[in-house]
Structure 1
Amino acid sequence: MLDVRGIDVAYGGIRAVRQLNLHVHPGELVALIGANGAGKSTTLRAICGLVPLAAGSIHYQGQSLAGQPVHSMVRQGLVMVPEGRGIFPQLTIEENLYMGAYTRTDKDGVAQDLEGVFTRFPRLAERRKQTAGTLSGGEQQMLAMGRAILSQPKLLLLDEPTMGLAPIMVDKIFEVIADISQRGVTILLIEQNARLALEVSQRGYVLESGELTLQGPAHDLLHDPKVRAAYLGE
């Protein structure tokens, strides 16, 4: 579904990502882990066309993404939940969710998905007319995830979905990620909590200083001595 081949991404004279290759098959949940500044978020931004490539190519469902505007990617089912959530703070929760469905014309389907989000996140249902900027960090992350669901993603890119959240909220977000994956949505997950990310994933990649250093089945990476020492606190 996603094929990233030999990409370089540079900021000024600094190459943030170097000769990166990764792929995600339909239905997979794949984790991309690494330390802060390793180039993980830059990789997602490059996939979505938010930063230009210095080299390499990115293909989604067999088609090159070069030159495609972001809104056309959303229409094709390529959706990102960015680091920092990116909600509209002055809009209500309900209005934020409807923004996720702006490319859709199936009103009945949108209404059904909206109620599905409210069922999954009762806190959002209770506050549906409340402005999003008044929500806690965890509630805003729920909202960002819900808005992505309303977009009907085929490939969902998640950038640090649990950053800054309390442990109980981290568990809730990972429950939602696992549920979305089980419903057939393909996911590429960037997550600082490497253990949780690998536990829910089928495969994983390890990024260090802009370069991939390890890749393989998530179970194998969980038990790799280098990964355990560097990212699992062992």
Structure 2
Amino acid sequence: MSPSNMSPVNTSSTPLLAVRDLSVSYGGIKAVKHLNLELHQGELVSLIGANGAGKTTTLKAICGLLAPQSGEVLFDGRSIKGQGAWTLVSQGLVMVPEGRGIFTRMSIDENLRMGAYLRQDKAQIEADIESVYQRFPRLKERHKQLAGTLSGGEQQMLAMGRALLAKPRLLLLDEPSMGLAPIMVDKIFEVVRDVAQQGVTVLLVEQNAHRALEMADRAYVLDSGEVALSGPARELLGNPQVQAAYLGA
């Protein structure tokens, strides 16, 4: 694929997230190469590509779990390079990792409360926990159950609910549908769309490229650690290169 320089949909304000010339290496392997992307407030942006394209590495570098070799990450106009993930949560940058990362020996309720550990507004925390339970009734039914005994889909619900308790301004989602039954995939994407419609900015990494492009405002296509294509998601959905490489056309 040849690189694209298509501009983002909204360029009228400072991006909430701006990644500039980012490179990340594992030993001698450069996993991400001079990557540029940005998200504006309220956007849902998808990041798609083949396995090993650098999607998860990009998310980890953004949220402070990996140190970039070079480049810059700006959140709300300020550099966050070198800050740990725990400090970024307090600023509103929250990630749901691939594999969910829940606390398996804690209950559902305890996991949700861990998402709010930096907050002091106790009454609103209780209201937000109830909101998560309304969104995911199965979690409420089992709120005292150990998280490690849940199904994969229920664990994904819990991971997303815990992230929402942190009151994110920017939510990074890494493969939320991986390994889930189709009915559960539908539920997870429904929640992602609903969260975005409520004003939370979302960067979605997803192997299900068709679903990711259908629901996104814009998208980036990664190929061997570089941005190969970018632009409005609907345009990429109809792009013959994208269809051939990622949509099975």
Q: TM-score, normalised by structure 2?
A: 0.93
User: Counterpart of 1:111?
Assistant: 126
**Mapping 1:72-221, distance limit 5 Å:** 72-221=87-236
Deviation at residue 71 of structure 1 after TM alignment? 1.5
Q: Which letter maps to 1:172?
A: K
Pairwise CA RMSD of aligned residues?
Answer: 0.5
Q: Which letter maps to 2:30?
A: R
Identity of aligned residues (%): 65
1:20 to 28, 32, 35: 35
User: Counterpart of 2:240?
Assistant: 225
Query: Could you report, residue by residue, the CA deviation over 1:191-216 in whole angstroms, capped at 9, with x for unpaired residues?
Result: 00001111110000000110110000
User: Counterpart of 1:39?
Assistant: 54
CA distance in 1, matches of 2:71, 2:82: 13
CA distance in 2, matches of 1:3, 1:72: 18
Q: Which letter maps to 1:198?
A: L
CA distance in 2, matches of 1:221, 1:52: 30
Conserved 8 A contact 2:67-2:82: no
Deviation at residue 101 of structure 1 after TM alignment? 0.3
Q: Which letter maps to 2:197?
A: Q
Q: Which letter maps to 1:129?
A: K
Worse overlay, 1-10 or 63-72: 63-72
1:10 to 25, 33, 38: 25
Deviation at residue 66 of structure 1 after TM alignment? 1.7
* Partner SS for 2:207: coil
CA distance in 1, matches of 2:136, 2:213: 24
Q: Which letter maps to 2:80?
A: L
Worse overlay, 129-138 or 62-71: 62-71
CA distance in 1, matches of 2:235, 2:81: 34
CA distance in 2, matches of 1:70, 1:23: 19
CA distance in 1, matches of 2:83, 2:70: 16
User: Counterpart of 1:62?
Assistant: 77
Conserved 8 A contact 2:65-2:84: no
Conserved 8 A contact 2:109-2:143: yes
Q: Where do 5+ consecutive residues of structure 2 fail to align?
A: 1-15
Query: Could you report, residue by residue, the CA deviation over 1:117-168 in whole angstroms, capped at 9, with x for unpaired residues?
Result: 0000000000000000000000000000000110000000000000000110
CA distance in 1, matches of 2:144, 2:21: 46
Runs of 4+ aligned structure 1 residues displaced above 2 Å come to none
* Partner SS for 1:88: coil
CA distance in 2, matches of 1:18, 1:222: 24
Q: Which letter maps to 1:148?
A: A
Deviation at residue 229 of structure 1 after TM alignment? 0.8
Q: TM-score, normalised by structure 1?
A: 0.99
